[in-house]
Chain A
Amino acid sequence: MSISFKSLSHIYNKDMPYAHKALDNINLDIKEGSITAIIGETGSGKSTLVEHLNALLLPDEGSLEILDYNIVANQKQKFLKPLRKDVGLVFQFSEYQLFEETVIKDVIFGPLNFGFSQQEAINKSIEALKLVEIDEKYFNVSPLELSGGQKRRVAIAGILACDPKIIVLDEPTAGLDPAGSKQIIDLFVSLNKTLNKTIIIVSHDNEMVYNYCDDTVVLSHGKVVYHGSTLDLFSDQKLIEEFHLLLPQIVQFKNELTENGFKISKEARTIEDIVGEVIKQVKK
Chain B
Amino acid sequence: MSLIELKDVYFSYNDDTKAIDGISFNIEQGSYTTIIGHNGSGKSTLAKLIAGLLPIKSGEILIDGLSVNEENISKIREKLGIVFQNPDNQFIGSTVKDDIAFGLENRLVKSEEMEKIILEYIDKVGLNKFMDYEPQNLSGGQKQRVAIAGILAMRPEIIIFDEATSMLDPKGKKEIKQLMADLAKDDTITIISITHDIEEVLQSDNCVVLNNGKLFMHAKPEEVFSHPEKLRDIDLDIPFIEKVKEEFKHRKIKLKSSDLKGLVKELCQYHSNH
Which of A205, A250, A253 is packed against the most chain B CB atoms within 10 Å?
A253
Question: Which secondary structure dominates chain A's binding surface?
Answer: helix
Q: Report the minimum CB–CB distance from A211 to chain B (whole Å).
A: 12
B240 and A250 within 8 A (CB): yes
- Interface segment among A125-133, A160-168, A254-262: the answer is A254-262
Query: In the bound complex, do residue B171 and residue A246 qualify as a contact, i.e. CB atoms below 8 Å apart?
Result: yes
Contact of B265 with A260 in the complex, beta carbons under 8 Å? yes
Identify the closest chain B residue to A204 (Cβ): B169
Closest CB of chain A to B148's CB: distance in Å? 19
B170 touches A178 (CB 8 A): no
When the two chains form their complex, are residues B38 and A275 in contact, meaning their CB atoms are under 8 A apart? no
Is the beta-carbon distance between B270 and A282 smaller than 8 angstroms?
yes
Tell me the complex Cα distance, A206–B261, Å: 21
| Total B residues in contact with A, Cβ cutoff 8 Å | 35
Q: Are A180 and B39 in contact (CB under 8 A)?
A: yes
Is A175 a contact partner of B167 (Cβ separation < 8 A)? Answer: yes
Is B196 in contact with A249, judged by CB distance below 8 angstroms? no
A42 and B40 in contact, given A174-B167, A246-B171, A260-B268 (Cβ under 8 angstroms): no
Cβ distance B119 to chain A, nearest Cβ, rounded Å: 27
Give chain B's interface secondary structure class.
helix
Among B24-32, B108-116, B149-157, B245-253, which stretch is in contact with chain A?
A: B245-253
- Closest-by-CB residue of B relative to A258 is B264
- Answer whether residue B236 sits at the interface, using C-beta atoms and an 8 A cutoff: yes
Name the B residues within 8 Å of A147 (CB-CB): 39-40
Task: Say how far B86's CB is from chain A's closest CB, in angstroms.
Answer: 9
Q: Number of contact residues on A: which range applies?
A: 20 to 34
Subset of 26 A-B contacts with CB under 8 Å: A41-B169, A42-B139, A42-B140, A42-B171, A147-B39, A175-B166, A177-B236, A178-B38, A178-B235, A178-B236, A179-B235, A179-B236, A204-B169, A204-B170, A246-B171, A253-B240, A253-B264, A256-B261, A257-B264, A260-B268, A272-B247, A275-B248, A279-B248, A279-B251, A282-B270, A282-B271
Seed contacts A178-B237, A281-B271; 17 additional CB < 8 Å A-B pairs: A42-B139, A42-B169, A42-B172, A43-B139, A175-B163, A175-B196, A176-B196, A177-B38, A177-B236, A179-B39, A206-B170, A250-B240, A256-B260, A256-B264, A260-B264, A282-B267, A282-B271
